[in-house]
Amino acid sequence: MNRKAIVVLATFLLTAVSFAQAQKPASIPRIGILRPGAPVIDGPFQFFIHGLRELGYVDGKNIVFEFRYAEGKRDRLAELATELVELKVDLLFTGSNPAIFALKQATQTIPIVIVSSSDPVGTGFISSLARPGGNVTGMSLMATDLWPKRLELLKEIFPKLSRAALFWNKSNAGMAIEAKATQEAAGLMGVTLLDRGVKDPNEIEWVLDATSKDRPDGFLPLMDLSLRSHEKRIIEFLTKNRLPAIFENQEMVEAGGLISYGPNYDEVYRRAAVYVDKILKGAKPADLPVEQPTKFDLIINLKAAKQIGLTIPPNVLARADRVIR
């Protein structure tokens, strides 16, 4: 074979390889989603999925979701996190502090997008809001700052409040920070908090029995996903005992609770989808500042207020974003 023929053949082979590479379909990104509860797509999480759709991502077409559910078994989170990492997914997502811990321990390289209920800096998830510095970024729900505000609101609608039961999950490190901040704020407001922290979510009946005996003036339920399974029982207890309480999410008020104040969760989860989009397009989690909510909703259930014999002050009603009658 002469020199000219070799050059022609080499050119042909390079062109064929380039064409084959151009025709090779791009790999579809896989998103690992770790949830501590049952396999149910709740309201806020639906907005995460909707947010991705708005950005052009359709499950099974140009993105694939790998779901793992702990079904309330906290000890399974580490196993499920490792399972997702071993699948070599392109990105991980969760909205639960215990699940964030599990994912962070399972990988320091795969990007993790979070919706953190408490202080992501205080819990050690990130170095700072402005520059997270690792493989974790996303949204913070500011719960550490908001629970003192909720206590203040509860006292505003019920000025006689002097003692309140504080229900929280001692197994959740992020919630421990929230409970401490609430205790400190309560002292400044002249309110004594009765610690009703539990390590096992199934201790709910002990909490309610103790509250029945202590007869506090109010109830502060710091609810993470593991405690949310008892929301119906808690609302029934509060109504029966005519006990005012304030919640962080509107679902509890829609289920019969008195009042809620907190971030607009639908918007928070929609914004989390933006982080997924940016990372899939090449951005690094370490360089994406963690956002905080900008919209907060005050929801009041007047029917629940009537059931416990409480009149909501007109100035508080005037500030409500939604009133359930």
Position 21 scores a pLDDT of 46
Token pair, residue 59, equals: 């499950």
Residue 24's pLDDT is 42
pLDDT at 197: 92
- pLDDT, residue 7, reads 44
CATH 3.40.50.2300 fits 143-263+297-324, yes or no: yes
Please report where in the chains the tokens 């795969």 appear, as a residue: 110
Any idea where the domains of the chain sit in the sequence? 30-140+264-294, 143-263+297-324
Task: Report DSSP state, residue 76.
Answer: G
Q: Helices 173-189 and 143-157, interaxial angle, to 10°?
A: 40
What does the alpha-carbon distance between residue 269 and residue 141 come to, in Å, rounded to a whole number?
A: 10
User: Is 30-140+264-294 a domain of CATH 1.10.10.10?
Assistant: no
Topology alike, domains 30-140+264-294 and 143-263+297-324: yes
Strands 91-94 and 30-35, by their bridges, are parallel
* Token pair for 135: 């493989």
| pTM beyond cutoff 0.85 | no
| H helices present in the chain, as ranges | 3-23, 43-54, 77-86, 97-106, 143-157, 173-189, 204-214, 231-240, 250-254, 265-280, 302-307, 314-319
35-62 pLDDT, tens digit per residue, is: 987 776 666 788 999 999 999 999 999 9
| Low pLDDT (below 50) residues in the chain | 5-25
